[in-house]
Amino acid sequence: MLMEPTINKMLAMKLNGMTEALEEQRKSVDATAWNFEDRLALLVERQWLWKENRALTTRLKFAKLRQPACVEDIDYRHSRGLQRSVMNQLAVCDWVQQAQNCIITGPTGVGKSYLACALAQKACRDGYRTRYFYAPKLFRELLAGQADGSLPSLLKKLAKTQLLVIDDWGLEKATAAQYRDFLELLDDRHGIAATLITSQFPPVRWHELVGDATVADAILDRLIHGAHRIELKGESMRKLCDKGASPD
């Protein structure tokens, strides 16, 4: 039997994983001893893995994470207020499924961005559509969207993102209009999708960052109540890296 037409049809149907497994079976001497059901099960399993890996690659590309990180590589050896039990609970991603928020605060260099990217990467692995933003860049995009009329489209796209990561909130001062646009973004996502924010500033200082008490109250109301909180402390991990610590 000529296999080339069959293989071409499989590729046309995007059964790439199954095609690769079939080629391997044809070259394997042992495969001839397997029954039909076993060979079929292996073909289906390979196709499923191929599809899952492809989907994960797409989600990671969309996420645009700042750095490669994963929860399995988090360093718990150094005293910075990070509890393994808390991270293990967050790594399950139930909070993403339930559209809850997570706030990670602490001084510069203690690993806030790494933890955020690690949780985001785990969310991608678990099938959630995720997007990372450096906070100043997000505010610039909100400003640009306001200027060129694309803001409604941007807000709609971000509202559909199951996990939105905003890194280094409060690092740069935004305008009153930008904070109002940010509030609109949070309002669209409230109770529907999860948001993770990192900041050098604890939430008690966010009023002075925003300036407008009414807007600040609304932002805090949509982010803080019921949110998972991680408050890091201690020496910069970058300094500890020079002493042989993990760079997260």
State pLDDT tens for residues 118-134.
Answer: 999 999 999 999 999 99
pLDDT higher than threshold 50 for residue 245: no
Contact 118, 71 (CB under 8 A): yes
What does the pLDDT read at residue 193? 95
State which of 46, 62, 78 marks the end of a domain.
Answer: 62
Summarize the confidence of residues 194-222 as an average pLDDT.
89
Q: Which residues pair with 25 in a beta bridge?
A: none
Q: Is residue 247 part of a domain?
A: no
For residue 4, what pLDDT band results from cuts at 50, 70 and 90? Answer: confident
Same domain? 112 vs 170 = yes
Q: Is residue 22 part of a domain?
A: yes
pLDDT higher than threshold 70 for residue 3: yes
Q: Hey, is 112 helix, strand or coil?
A: helix
pLDDT higher than threshold 90 for residue 135: yes
What does the pLDDT read at residue 247? 45
State pLDDT tens for residues 149-203.
Answer: 898 999 888 988 999 999 999 888 888 888 898 899 999 999 899 999 999 988 8
Domain that holds residue 216: 64-242
State pLDDT tens for residues 50-89.
Answer: 777 788 889 999 999 999 999 999 988 877 888 999 999 9
- Supply the mean pLDDT for the chain: 86
Q: Hey, is 80 helix, strand or coil?
A: coil
Same domain? 122 vs 200 = yes
State which of 22, 43, 62 marks the end of a domain.
Answer: 62
Contact 75, 248 (CB under 8 A): yes
Same domain? 212 vs 125 = yes
Closest CA to 154 of 166, 144, 163, 162: 144
For residue 41, what pLDDT band results from cuts at 50, 70 and 90? Answer: confident
* % of residues, the chain, pLDDT over 90: 40
Whole-angstrom distance, CA of residue 185 vs CA of residue 158: 8
165 vs 40 pLDDT, higher one:
165
Same domain? 115 vs 223 = yes
Same domain? 83 vs 187 = yes
Same domain? 30 vs 84 = no
38 vs 125 pLDDT, higher one:
125
State which of 62, 83, 112 marks the end of a domain.
Answer: 62
Same domain? 33 vs 108 = no
Give the total number of structural domains in the chain: 2
Same domain? 51 vs 109 = no
